[in-house]
Structure 1
Amino acid sequence: MDLKCEHQAKLSQNHLLTKTSYFASYSLLSSSEFPDETTASEGWMTLQCTWNKARHIFELPHGDVSCVLNVHPVSGDERSPAFILHKELLKLQGLTCGLQTGEIVWSPQEADHSLTDQLTLMIQGLQERGLRKKTENQQVPLDSTDFDSCLEAAVLGKRESLDFTDHLWTLLSGCSSFEELKMALAFIFKQLNSKEMRPLIFRKNSTTLGKFIRQLHHEDLETPSLEGMKPLEMLVEIGVEKLRRDYTSIFVGLELATQEQLQPFLQSSGNIVLALPELQKLQNVLEVIVLSKTFLQLPRQTLSSYTREALKFYSTIPSVDPNHIFHFPVQISSVHQLLERLPVLEWRVSLKSQDKHYHVQTICQIATKPPFDHCLAYKPTGHEFSNYVTKINCIQDTVRKT
């Protein structure tokens, strides 16, 4: 009421009806160390609400409310449930860069057994229990009543349908040197040529190793060359193939997107180096989805809509823009109870009136961040946060054009 009295004091009693609008921004996810700030390695989420009726400062939105969810995904945020897939993507990125520069930082060997011994144990294990007889089109079992469990299983790398190269990527991506990788692949081809093992390979597996194994069932073939950078190319191929199938399993298996919508991100015209930016786009889309589900518990239909919109955006750009912010509509009914527990980043009221030729507007904003960069932050002793109050009064004379 004080704000309204201050606003109306600039008008005569004959002024037209005052229009009010309210805006509030709430923090869903911010920096873990500094609640008012974010770091380059951490994503953030805010919820912005606009409505027309309120009686008190900081009053929660109600009535006819328009809500927008702002998401800034960062691949590599350790708080994200999708961090495990980012680690695989990061490892693949390092190997791919090695194809272009010839320089690779290899991981030190941490296992007690040599890589050859580990490969032997893996092959024996697969032969004993057998790979599950599933086609590559079968996805994560979908239980409409337990979407959370399905999503958790998907992003934690628990895909059930794995072929031989998927298992091989897990071991070979941990090689400690180029020579060790070359020796491991030579060992694999020796085992394959002995005809003692016939591992399962998906029909659409287009890697050099996958094609060799499929054709070996029907004829004797010459072992692919391991000269030059060929071993590294083979490793990158199976890594790209594995991650493509991981993302497909998540998005298609959980009914977040269709195979057709994902197809532009799964093609690279035979150039495995070009596949990396497309996989990074899918990782960022996944970051958006897991954050929206984790902090807002949005239904599958809403997450599917967000997925399609994010995929549409990424299909128009060559690579991921680290500064891009997604804006998604959200129903107030889905977040109203959550608003009571969220910290308010900004609360603003705008009053607009007209008195003959005069247009008067008053804006009052209360925010946790200063309105201008040159304002110095001041936090009194004993107070965790400070609020900055900003008032703006604007009077426009339509006759005098002032």
Structure 2
Amino acid sequence: MHLNLSVQEAVSNKLAPYLDFVHHLFLLLANCRDSENLSKCFLLVFQEIQSGDAKIFVHPRNPTKVAHILRELMRDSSSLPALSGIGSLELLLEIGLEKLTKDYTHIFLSSKLTTLEQLKLPSCDVNDLNDVRKKLDTLGRLQVVLDILLLAESQIKFSVGSLQSLAAFSLNNIETQVGSFSQLLELGHIRFQAPVDTREIKSLLPRKYSSSCMQFTSERENYKICTILHCSALPAFPFLSPDISDSQLSDISGLEEDLHCSQLTCLSNKLF
């Protein structure tokens, strides 16, 4: 597995480390138009493997039923399994969940943003509907966290350290925003708040034009509150669609071009 990849590189290269035929099989069979067609396709694959003409690799740790069947067919040409429409759908669901789990695991671990324990990936019995729902809920939340990290990396240019902190916080708190996979499908957008080191934000603000900072410290210096007002020709957060009435100012200090105005407020006991 490649390490120290950026999040974008990890997403782009998610298929590179996987030579498991079962994962590629899912991408092909997911396009079947119905369960009858799916059963026929599975049977054709099993027959080809049984004949010994096809040389494939199935990872020995792949726990799916399809992987077990293929290993048996490659080993001693066992009899072909009987497949029903429902049975073939269960096989497809299982290898799909397995592939998605491997994909997300590779992305998060190869970019070194989190640990396997932080991902909290549950096991899944495809015959248990509750297990399937829990797995889909987890994978849906991982996708939201991945979207957040991609935006932070590509648009705000977060450092690796800040991305790691953001990943840890997001994985621990995303369930409060996305309770289930079905809820994720219904939501038009997700508002997610996460703590970010003020020094990181200040270093990312465009230097051109003006910036002012106001800071208050509590009597015993336990807490500090800092407000930064920054005007720039470039938006501090380019992936956001600004409200022109609030975010763009014109004709300031004799400048004719529109400016983007950003206000950041932070309350912290470890601000600097």
Structure 2 length as normaliser, TM-score?
0.65
CA–CA distance in structure 2, aligned partners of residues 175 and 335 of structure 1: 51
- Equivalent AA in structure 2 for residue 226 of structure 1: L
CA–CA distance in structure 1, aligned partners of residues 70 and 166 of structure 2: 39
Q: Is 2:197 aligned against 1:330?
A: yes
Match of 1:267 among 103, 110, 123: 123
**Contact conserved, 1:192 with 1:213, CA < 8 A, in 2?**
yes
**Equivalences for 1:54-93 in 2 at 5 Å?**
none
- Equivalent AA in structure 1 for residue 156 of structure 2: L
Report how far residue 189 of structure 1 moved.
1.0
Report how far residue 293 of structure 1 moved.
0.3
CA–CA distance in structure 2, aligned partners of residues 302 and 255 of structure 1: 12
- Equivalent AA in structure 1 for residue 199 of structure 2: I
Change (3 A) 1:221 1:330: same
Match of 2:157 among 297, 307, 312: 297
Report how far residue 173 of structure 1 moved.
1.8
**Contact conserved, 2:66 with 2:91, CA < 8 A, in 1?**
yes
Report how far residue 281 of structure 1 moved.
0.9
CA–CA distance in structure 1, aligned partners of residues 16 and 213 of structure 2: 47
**Contact conserved, 1:189 with 1:223, CA < 8 A, in 2?**
yes
Structure 2: unaligned runs, 5 residues or longer: 217-241, 247-256, 262-272
Counterpart in the other structure of 1:164? 21
CA–CA distance in structure 2, aligned partners of residues 192 and 236 of structure 1: 21
- Equivalent AA in structure 2 for residue 239 of structure 1: G
Match of 1:319 among 176, 180, 186: 180
Report how far residue 333 of structure 1 moved.
4.6
**Helix, strand or coil at the partner of 2:164:** helix
Report how far residue 291 of structure 1 moved.
0.6
**Contact conserved, 1:199 with 1:213, CA < 8 A, in 2?**
no
Change (3 A) 1:194 1:240: same
Q: Is 2:9 aligned against 1:142?
A: no
**Contact conserved, 1:293 with 1:303, CA < 8 A, in 2?**
yes
- Equivalent AA in structure 1 for residue 172 of structure 2: K
Report how far residue 279 of structure 1 moved.
0.9
Change (3 A) 1:287 1:368: closer
Report how far residue 166 of structure 1 moved.
1.3
Q: CA RMSD in A?
A: 3.8
CA–CA distance in structure 2, aligned partners of residues 245 and 195 of structure 1: 28
Report how far residue 227 of structure 1 moved.
1.1
Q: Is 2:31 aligned against 1:174?
A: yes
**Helix, strand or coil at the partner of 2:150:** helix
CA deviation vs aligned residue, 1:53-85 (integer Å, no higher than 9, x gap): xxxxxxxxxxxxxxxxxxxxxxxxxxxxxxxxx
Counterpart in the other structure of 2:104? 247
Structure 1: unaligned runs, 5 residues or longer: 1-138, 352-366, 372-382, 388-402
Structure having the higher strand fraction is: 1
- Equivalent AA in structure 2 for residue 190 of structure 1: Q
Counterpart in the other structure of 1:391? none
Counterpart in the other structure of 1:277? 137
Structure 1 length as normaliser, TM-score?
0.46
Counterpart in the other structure of 1:47? none
**Helix, strand or coil at the partner of 2:195:** strand
Report how far residue 292 of structure 1 moved.
0.5
Change (3 A) 1:189 1:172: same
Q: Is 2:5 aligned against 1:152?
A: no
CA–CA distance in structure 1, aligned partners of residues 145 and 16 of structure 2: 19
CA–CA distance in structure 2, aligned partners of residues 220 and 324 of structure 1: 54
**Contact conserved, 1:207 with 1:238, CA < 8 A, in 2?**
yes
**Contact conserved, 1:173 with 1:235, CA < 8 A, in 2?**
yes
CA–CA distance in structure 2, aligned partners of residues 368 and 257 of structure 1: 35
**Helix, strand or coil at the partner of 1:329:** coil
CA deviation vs aligned residue, 1:179-236 (integer Å, no higher than 9, x gap): 3322211100111222333421123312221111223344453433321312222222
CA–CA distance in structure 2, aligned partners of residues 368 and 236 of structure 1: 43
**Helix, strand or coil at the partner of 1:234:** helix
CA–CA distance in structure 2, aligned partners of residues 329 and 174 of structure 1: 42
Q: Is 2:194 aligned against 1:194?
A: no
Report how far residue 237 of structure 1 moved.
1.6
Report how far residue 384 of structure 1 moved.
8.1
Report how far residue 254 of structure 1 moved.
1.4
**Contact conserved, 1:296 with 1:335, CA < 8 A, in 2?**
no
**Contact conserved, 1:244 with 1:266, CA < 8 A, in 2?**
no
Change (3 A) 1:318 1:219: farther
Moved more, 317-326 or 222-231: 317-326
Number of residue-to-residue matches in the alignment: 217
- Equivalent AA in structure 2 for residue 331 of structure 1: T
Change (3 A) 1:162 1:208: same
Counterpart in the other structure of 1:236? 93
**Greater relative contact order (CA < 8 Å, ≥ 6 in sequence):** 1
Determine which structure has more spread, i.e. the larger CA radius of gyration: 1
CA–CA distance in structure 2, aligned partners of residues 329 and 286 of structure 1: 17
**Contact conserved, 1:169 with 1:235, CA < 8 A, in 2?**
yes
